[in-house]
Amino acid sequence: MKISDSYLTKREQEIMEVLFRHGSMTANEIGEKLAGAPSNSTVRTQLRVLEGRGLIDHREEDGRYVYFSLRNAEDEGRGALKSVVETFFQGSILNAVAALMETRKLSAEEIAELEKIVADREDA
């Protein structure tokens, strides 16, 4: 199951993003990174839910549970992006890229890299 294929609450998504960004962390450390200062019991409940869904796991270190993602952030990002393209751009990569390019001006280096990516895909 991919994260992008299953529904996550806003808080669950936020926890996954914290773990992607910071790696292994205790429940207290995760809670400190979350918006709105959720209670420790709320964070632990959410961690148990995510663990039960097979998205995270924990190991015991010095008597504390240290949680970590079982998913790769880049792979999950690709899955989420695919879902966005399908949902909001009717599967059109061209329209999705055009929309992304409207969000900010690309540097000459970024344009050159995009051209290289396209050329490499054409050769494949």
Return the pLDDT at 103: 92
Q: Tell me how far apart the alpha carbons of residues 76 and 65 are, in angstroms, rounded to a whole number.
A: 24
Name the residue among 101, 97, 72, 102 with its Cα closest to residue 85.
97
Q: Tell me how far apart the alpha carbons of residues 25 and 68 are, in angstroms, rounded to a whole number.
A: 7
Instruction: Determine whether 53 is exposed, middle or buried from the number of CB atoms within 10 Å of its CB (0-12, 13-18, 19+).
Output: middle
Tell me the per-residue pLDDT of 36-91, one tens digit each, with 9 for 90 and over.
989 999 999 999 999 999 999 999 999 999 999 998 888 888 888 888 899 999 99
pTM value is 0.68
Tell me the per-residue pLDDT of 27-49, one tens digit each, with 9 for 90 and over.
999 999 999 989 999 999 999 99
Go through the domains of the chain in sequence order and give each one's CATH number.
3-69 (1.10.10.10), 93-124 (no CATH)
